[in-house]
Structure 1
């Protein structure tokens, strides 16, 4: 494998580029006109240069082996669709919040899609660099219910070969991990975004009833979808709030910056799954409606 093409060269794209660039050539598809490439990643006070470049218009698409998509969930369809016909043999890796975009991409490129989930912490510094704010675990696996073709299996193994600087592991079934992350985000993100809170402020007793109510609804939807979430989901949410106490959630940052947020792929996904299963989700729907009202005009 020689060439990776990134779509969405933001925080997570930057840290993945840093990990893989010693082994493959990283390129970037300019999916929006105002896109800027981070020049470096700051890790433990060491500035690590990022070597990605924009994909040239005159280079043949068949040179691309794998596409790494790290856009916001609501951007995936618009960013990916123009490339699907150009890349009939390429493999795809999607790492984004929420659920829904993953299933859509798996339908567009059967047997060629990998899913990913990461707990890496990365934030922009505002000067063309990214700051790695916390090391984590990055999981890769096949799209749920999909048997990967031979080329994608081989490319997945090559992605896993570098042992540093990130920690990557393979999961044959990544869907439970994505559901747990979805569940936590469906509580933390809308509450912090609507009320302008840091994550750790949700530990205050005034939010306990709302957290418990949301977790109960999420558990009901998960069971209806035959997904098993931990019985201690409330404690899991509080543990994440504790571990990221000083952080602003991505949804809060999007709302405060006047950008589109991912509520339709987080709470909205759970509301839709509940509707299809005949499960009522009044609190999840309330938070979807509230954060939808904070979306800028299309």
Structure 2
């Protein structure tokens, strides 16, 4: 396949590396520093088994999606519409568009910009950029792909490339489950700059996470979403299985960048308000992260 990755950050670079390593033609669309680094040394992946690089094409321009059979959109949630506008005029009519983004409404928002279907994907991977064109893998890497005419074929290609992928007609439920996990950890990890394992050791943290999860579940169920009954156990278990991971929101704050908090806890607050469900724990975390983003 010809694959384009729009928003080649930690998530996009990780999956781009594996697909390129498996023999697919990969084009990364990202920042100038990424383009320069990849042009000089290839795309580098660091993981427990060692460090390796693969040659890929990289560009800053939206026409990097031209000729792509598959387009992975991995931009931050706040950049969804801008990314859609950048690539809209260059997409092949037969290309499949996947949204590998945090939050639950990005595929819908992107589809509105592109005026074509976009397949939602729930992503379960712990990655971070160790430098331009150099991604570090910290854990997992599996995907749940929404149903479409091409989803089974794509899932087979991804699995063959070392990306465990399943197809589900209820991908929105998986996205909500991931959103709840992100709401539980991202803000707290960002505000304390602690990885999940150390975070859970803090006084009152488990109780605070429990409050956040219960609010999220109430909003999700009121919105017609099916949430696993053991979601709280799953959330808390993550702090053990991915104990060394700092959230993407923590990484954003550490770099002085705007985070996706408006599309995580902020989304739950807005949706809760629309459904008449109070969300004080989520509101407080959203407010604190927004304050931390705008330090004077």
User: TM (normalized to structure 1)?
Assistant: 0.85
Say which structure is richer in helix.
2
SS in 1 for 2:160: coil
Deviations 1:205-259 (A, max 9, x none): 4223212221221121112101122333332221111112122111111112211
> What is the aligned partner in structure 2 of residue 83 from structure 1?
87
> What is the aligned partner in structure 2 of residue 107 from structure 1?
112
Instruction: Answer yes or no: is the 8 Å Cα contact 2:74–2:100 preserved in 1.
Output: yes
The within-5 A match list for 1:26-65 is 26-30=26-30, 32-36=31-35, 37=38, 39-55=43-59, 62-65=66-69
> What is the aligned partner in structure 2 of residue 25 from structure 1?
25
Task: Specify whether residues 255 and 25 from structure 1 end up closer, same or farther in structure 2 by C-alpha distance, changes over 3 A only.
Answer: same
Task: Specify whether residues 137 and 56 from structure 1 end up closer, same or farther in structure 2 by C-alpha distance, changes over 3 A only.
Answer: closer
Which 5+ residue runs of structure 1 have no aligned equivalent?
143-147
Instruction: Answer yes or no: is the 8 Å Cα contact 2:33–2:132 preserved in 1.
Output: no
SS in 2 for 1:135: strand
Deviates more, 1:48-57 or 1:117-126: 48-57
Task: Specify whether residues 165 and 295 from structure 1 end up closer, same or farther in structure 2 by C-alpha distance, changes over 3 A only.
Answer: same
The within-5 A match list for 1:94-243 is 94-110=99-115, 112-126=117-131, 128-142=133-147, 148=148, 153-154=149-150, 157-158=153-154, 160-161=156-157, 162-204=159-201, 205-243=203-241
Of 72, 78, 86, the residue aligned with 2:76 is 72
Deviates more, 1:210-219 or 1:14-23: 14-23
Task: Specify whether residues 213 and 156 from structure 1 end up closer, same or farther in structure 2 by C-alpha distance, changes over 3 A only.
Answer: same
For 2:289 and 2:121, locate their aligned partners in 1 and report how far apart those are by CA, in whole Å. Answer: 26
User: TM (normalized to structure 2)?
Assistant: 0.85
Instruction: Answer yes or no: is the 8 Å Cα contact 1:20–1:159 preserved in 2.
Output: no
Task: Specify whether residues 42 and 207 from structure 1 end up closer, same or farther in structure 2 by C-alpha distance, changes over 3 A only.
Answer: closer
Instruction: Answer yes or no: is the 8 Å Cα contact 2:191–2:250 preserved in 1.
Output: yes
Instruction: Answer yes or no: is the 8 Å Cα contact 1:176–1:228 preserved in 2.
Output: yes
For 2:281 and 2:206, locate their aligned partners in 1 and report how far apart those are by CA, in whole Å. Answer: 14
For 1:65 and 1:141, locate their aligned partners in 2 and report how far apart those are by CA, in whole Å. Answer: 17
For 1:78 and 1:198, locate their aligned partners in 2 and report how far apart those are by CA, in whole Å. Answer: 31
Which 5+ residue runs of structure 2 have no aligned equivalent?
none
User: How many residue pairs were aligned?
Assistant: 286
For 1:54 and 1:209, locate their aligned partners in 2 and report how far apart those are by CA, in whole Å. Answer: 45
Q: CA deviation at 1:130?
A: 2.1
For 1:201 and 1:42, locate their aligned partners in 2 and report how far apart those are by CA, in whole Å. Answer: 23
> What is the aligned partner in structure 2 of residue 6 from structure 1?
5
Instruction: Answer yes or no: is the 8 Å Cα contact 1:18–1:48 preserved in 2.
Output: no
Q: CA deviation at 1:168?
A: 1.8
Deviations 1:4-61 (A, max 9, x none): 211111222122122322343111234x444444622134434332322135979796
For 1:62 and 1:126, locate their aligned partners in 2 and report how far apart those are by CA, in whole Å. Answer: 27
SS in 2 for 1:202: helix
